Amino acid sequence: MTARDKCINPEFNLEDIMVRPLPIGVQDFKEVRDEGHLYVDKSNLIPQILSQKSEVYQVTRPRRFGKSLNLSILDAFFNLKYPKDNAWFDGLNARRKSSYPGPCKTNI
């Protein structure tokens, strides 16, 4: 591990990454986190959406680019049917950057 890797992510562990299964075809964020699949943190989407005051968000991405997984991330964060103290966002940017500790009390 280089010094640059430590600056980017101090919790970086190459051995941990090498043994994690790839989530090929898995589109459910909760399943990805619960099963310990390899996950590239895309949760920065949540603070971006919270900082904007738009009524509509259009997500345009090519095929197989994570649109369904991103919607599943939003569902896991905002949906009140999930426990507020879940560990799905532990260690992710959304938990660190958002003023919301978990699901918020809004309807989407």
User: Can you give the pLDDT at residue 100?
Assistant: 55
The contacts of residue 41 (CB under 8 Å, 6+ apart) are 92, 93
User: Domain limits of the chain?
Assistant: 3-97
User: Can you give the pLDDT at residue 86?
Assistant: 81
Structure tokens at 23: 């989530």
What predicted TM-score, i.e. pTM, was given to this entire model? 0.70
Structure tokens at 46: 């949540």
pLDDT band, residue 105 (cuts 50/70/90): very low
Distance, CA of 16 to CA of 23 (rounded, Å): 15
Structure tokens at 87: 């560990």
User: Can you give the pLDDT at residue 51?
Assistant: 85
Can you say how many angstroms the Cα of residue 44 is from the centroid of all Cα atoms in its chain?
A: 7
pLDDT band, residue 76 (cuts 50/70/90): very high
pLDDT band, residue 40 (cuts 50/70/90): confident
The contacts of residue 85 (CB under 8 Å, 6+ apart) are 102
CB atoms within 10 A of CB 62: 7
- Cα dihedral sign, 98-103-106-108: positive
> Does position 72 have pLDDT exceeding 90, yes or no?
yes
Mean pLDDT computed over every residue of the chain: 78
Distance, CA of 3 to CA of 1 (rounded, Å): 7
User: Can you give the pLDDT at residue 2?
Assistant: 47
